[in-house]
Chain A
Amino acid sequence: MSSSPDLNIDHIAKLARLALTPEEKAKFAQQLGDVLHHIEQLKKVDVSHVEPTAHAAPVFNVWADDVARPGLPVERALQNAPTQREHMVVVPKVVE
């Protein structure tokens, strides 16, 4: 199966922040193309008599009351951070 013409692997890699080699690009373009092809097949199924749904299970209104409870101590919250300062996570300078 060849990759879909709608598939821009460079764009997808950029959105996913992945640096792919040319070989990987070819491989993933093929695999994602197969997925898209499968979706195209699914689109042929007549679903005109089926209610659209956002979820596989017909369950609604799952919630909890607004009662606050203590969270993690800051040391625990930050223990996986590669770098921290002033009890905050240090990340490369990002300005948007």
Chain B
Amino acid sequence: MNYEAVIGLEVHVQVKTRSKIFTRVAAGYGHEPNTLTDPVVLALPGTLPVMNKAALDAIIKAGLLLGCDIAPVCKWDRKNYFYPDSPKNYQISQYDQPICLGGAVEIELPGSARNVMGEHKKIPLTRIHLEEDVGKLNHGTSDSLVDYNRAGTPLMEIVSDPAMHTADEAYAYLTSLRATMIYGGISDCDMEKGQLRCDANISIRPVGETKLGVKVELKNLNSISFVRDGIAHEIKRQIAVLERGGIIVQETRDYDGMTGTSQSLRSKEMAHDYRYFPDPDLMPVKVDDAWKQRLAAECPELPFDKQRRFIADYQLPYTLTSVLVWDRALADYFEEAAKLSGKPQAAGNWIVNDLLRELGNVGRGLSPTSSDAVSGVKPDLQTCRIRPAHIAALVKLVDSGAVLTNAAKEIFVEMFATGETPEVIADRKGLKAAPTDSNELEQWCRDSIAANAKALAEFKAGKDSAINAFKGPVMKAAKGKANPKLVDETLRRLLATG
């Protein structure tokens, strides 16, 4: 029997704020344990939460970027449970009135080849709500240690519809969602720092069946690649269970990306009873149009929109755009170089092929369809000595024929090291095509034409490419340093008049 998988993702994204969501102690990662707490975080008696305005701005912005409806009124609820990661014994969350409803994440599936754009789809969202993150438990052999630094960090829960069917779709979804959040300045989404965490709900059903199968929740998918691997593994596991006559039990499984295996955490026979109720300590939030409009004005163009624009406006090939658009700083850098040079594709080639190589191959993996999107370190354009104006100047030097391609490559490497302009380097290192005395060049051209009667006849007969036969001897006479454009011009002038 053929089976179809149904996948929904629950993604938690930490909002990048200076202070915590309900109190003003600093939020942050990598601090000494329990140094980012205060009486509100520790839920000491008599404390009251006060909402962080920046966290609300961030989630509304996230909702606008993803095309969600922003609820005109939303409220805060207490989710009650006993676990040492939560000092209050409840987590402040949003239950039945989340701030964002609906919306979608645009994804791109792998294309038929690396240089071919893949199919685009929109994965619908159910909702996004805001809540507080909880503390971190460090499990030892005989006890656990609790660090409350993370507790109270603003956290968005982004819930997709069960609308994905393959591990590749889930991977593309996460990559796109992550890029959107980074573009919007909402979160840095560093999975190693827990700023983006993902749980997957997976079920399978016979193809054609409309009822959902029993779902299994997969946890601890702590890199985007592990999400893809974990889901692919879980789909296979469920099919194997059914095919040997077993039944899928509703459970939570822990995926170990290092070994590629999963194990059951606990049976989920009974839905959790969190006894939600409205938090009496927090006032509801009303979002009016003026607030939404102010945030909409701050929303950047999203990567896929940018990609479509780069292809349409700059005639860039897909492969270049798929590297450029996933990093906002890189895309901005390209646009500046493209405008200054007037040659977008040449500027794009220098940036994608040479600049990223010089930055330590760090550009690889920025594309959503590459396999190691997570491990790709962002190019450090901030400190890079080559500015867009350098790229534009180099493009112009090559385009005018003043510098030949090989010399330009050498100039680029030098430029990366010193930050000098390409003109300065070309002059200093003698890399300019020979400025050639025009009389000398003209003489070489005359000699070359005179020495090749066959090519001359062909050219006169209308075979334009025959002109190339004259160029070799000229370049040889010029010891390879003649400006090819000038050589071409001179030859044509002589051929036309002679």
Q: Which residues on A sit within 8 Å (CB–CB) of B51?
A: 62-64
Q: Which residues on A sit within 8 Å (CB–CB) of B54?
A: 65-66
Residue contact A55 to B83, C-beta cutoff 8 Å:
no
Residue contact B34 to A77, C-beta cutoff 8 Å:
yes
Q: Which residues on A sit within 8 Å (CB–CB) of B266?
A: 96
Residue contact A86 to B18, C-beta cutoff 8 Å:
no
Q: Which residues on B sit within 8 Å (CB–CB) of A56?
A: 280
B146 at the interface (CB under 8 A from A): yes
Say whether chain A's binding surface is mostly helix, strand, loop, or mixed: loop
B473 at the interface (CB under 8 A from A): no
Residue contact B18 to A68, C-beta cutoff 8 Å:
yes
8 Å CB contact of B37 from A17, A57, A71, A86 = A71
B24 at the interface (CB under 8 A from A): yes
8 Å CB contact of A66 from B17, B32, B139 = B17
A78 at the interface (CB under 8 A from B): yes
Q: A77-B37, A78-B34, A94-B83 are in contact. Are A63 and B50 (CB under 8 A)?
A: yes
Bound form: Cα–Cα A94–B285 in Å = 36
B278 at the interface (CB under 8 A from A): yes
Smallest CB–CB gap between B206 and chain A, Å?
A: 33
Smallest CB–CB gap between A61 and chain B, Å?
A: 6
A43 at the interface (CB under 8 A from B): no
What 0/1 pattern do residues 32 to 74 of A give for CB contact below 8 A with B? 0000000000000000000001111101111111111111111
Stretch at the interface among B38-46, B348-356, B438-446: B38-46
8 Å CB contact of B53 from A53, A54, A63 = A63
A91 at the interface (CB under 8 A from B): yes
B84 at the interface (CB under 8 A from A): yes
Residue contact A94 to B18, C-beta cutoff 8 Å:
no
Residue contact A64 to B286, C-beta cutoff 8 Å:
no
Residue contact A55 to B143, C-beta cutoff 8 Å:
no
A13 at the interface (CB under 8 A from B): no
Residue contact B147 to A71, C-beta cutoff 8 Å:
no
Residue contact B143 to A61, C-beta cutoff 8 Å:
no
Smallest CB–CB gap between B289 and chain A, Å?
A: 15
Q: A60-B285, A61-B285, A93-B140 are in contact. Are A74 and B33 (CB under 8 A)?
A: yes
Residue contact A66 to B278, C-beta cutoff 8 Å:
no
Residue contact B52 to A59, C-beta cutoff 8 Å:
no
8 Å CB contact of A69 from B25, B80, B273 = B25
Residue contact A62 to B283, C-beta cutoff 8 Å:
yes
Q: Which residues on B sit within 8 Å (CB–CB) of A91?
A: 84, 137, 143-146
A26 at the interface (CB under 8 A from B): no
Interface centre among B18, B25, B33, B280 (most CB of A within 10 A): B33
Q: A62-B283, A88-B147, A96-B266 are in contact. Are A72 and B38 (CB under 8 A)?
A: yes
Q: Which residue of B lies closest to A11 (CB)?
A: B273
B265 at the interface (CB under 8 A from A): yes
30 A-B pairs in the complex with CB atoms less than 8 angstroms apart: A15-B275, A54-B75, A54-B97, A54-B278, A55-B283, A59-B283, A61-B285, A61-B286, A63-B56, A64-B50, A65-B54, A66-B53, A67-B24, A68-B27, A70-B25, A71-B26, A71-B41, A72-B37, A73-B35, A77-B37, A77-B42, A78-B34, A86-B145, A87-B34, A88-B33, A90-B143, A91-B137, A91-B144, A94-B144, A95-B265
Q: B residues touching A (Cβ–Cβ < 8 Å)?
A: 17-19, 24-27, 32-39, 41-42, 50-56, 73, 75-76, 80, 82-84, 97, 137-148, 265-266, 273, 275, 278, 280, 282-286
